[in-house]
Amino acid sequence: MTRDQIISTVISSNPEDWHNSETGSFETTFYVNDVNLYIKEGEVHSENFNEPWHQNLSDPLASSTYYLLYYNNTLIYKTILISVDGGRALVPLPAPRNHVDIQRLDYQMATALDHPSSEEYIQRLNFNIID
């Protein structure tokens, strides 16, 4: 499978196509149609993430973490997702130029990991999904 095919698979997937599996302290979310495709939580990016776009939520606490998309132990894509509203939802990091545009691949990864909370908060924050 090529990198473009892998990314296309993720973008066209539904949250129900992903399954969360915990082994000890490790959590992996894998694609049910091909378990070689999976998302892993990486290092913490910022324990005290602070941007104006999330400050009006009921809890302004937020943190950011790297999430990694793998296929057969090969890193395909790395992104930052934000745990917002005191950990109630996981949303993509919006573009710095306008704080509302999010990449479709980041959106798909967030909803695979945290559906339906991600979906609700993405709408609540008025994010625009772009390709």
Q: From CA 81, how far away is CA 79, in angstroms rounded?
A: 7
C-alpha separations of 108 from 15, 17, 57, 100, 124 in Å: 8, 11, 22, 16, 17
C-alpha separations of 7 from 31, 59, 70, 71, 75 in Å: 12, 33, 10, 10, 12
Torsion of CA 100, 97, 39, 113, to 10 degrees: -20
Regarding pTM above 0.85, the answer is yes
For residue 131, the model assigns a pLDDT of: 85
For residue 73, the model assigns a pLDDT of: 94
For residue 62, the model assigns a pLDDT of: 96
Residue 107: how many CB atoms within 10 A of its CB? 20
For residue 12, the model assigns a pLDDT of: 97
> Could you list the mean pLDDT of each consecutive 10-residue stretch along the chain, which spans 131 residues?
97 96 82 97 94 92 96 97 95 90 97 92 95 85
Q: From CA 113, how far away is CA 85, in angstroms rounded?
A: 16
